[in-house]
Amino acid sequence: QVQLVESGGGLVQAGGSLRLSCAASGATANINAMGWYRQTPGNQRELVALISSGGRTNYADSVKGRFTISRDNAKNTVYLQMNSLKPEDTAVYYCKAVHRWTPYWGQGTQVTVSS
């Protein structure tokens, strides 16, 4: 079992920045990919960014050049630095970790970008 705790969400004006953190605990020894997804009411959860255990990254086209995902394996923590935020980035952001091919999700953190 892997437990994920997110932090760092909040309210920010358009053009501002936020940094999300997600700390994993429990069976962290075999966590493969970690990443961030987001969801708005009435819509499916969508990929924002992924990072492999080796550091390879993948981003949604809508956030490329503005968001950066990073990972501290020693702390079992993944980060999402979000710059140049837009109102359309408003969503609940969820952390995901894959442990031996089983996905685990955090509880979500709200990000609201005002225009």
| DSSP SS3 for 46 | strand
How far, in Å, CA of 34 to CA of 69, rounded?
Answer: 10
> If 0-12 CB within 10 Å is exposed, 13-18 middle and 19+ buried, where does residue 42 land?
exposed
Task: State the average pLDDT over residues 81-98.
Answer: 98
pLDDT of residue 35: 97
Q: Does residue 66 contact residue 84 with C-beta atoms inside 8 Å?
A: yes
Asked whether residue 44 carries a pLDDT value surpassing 90, the answer given is yes
Mean pLDDT of 49-78: 95
User: Residue 78 has which token pair?
Assistant: 């993944």
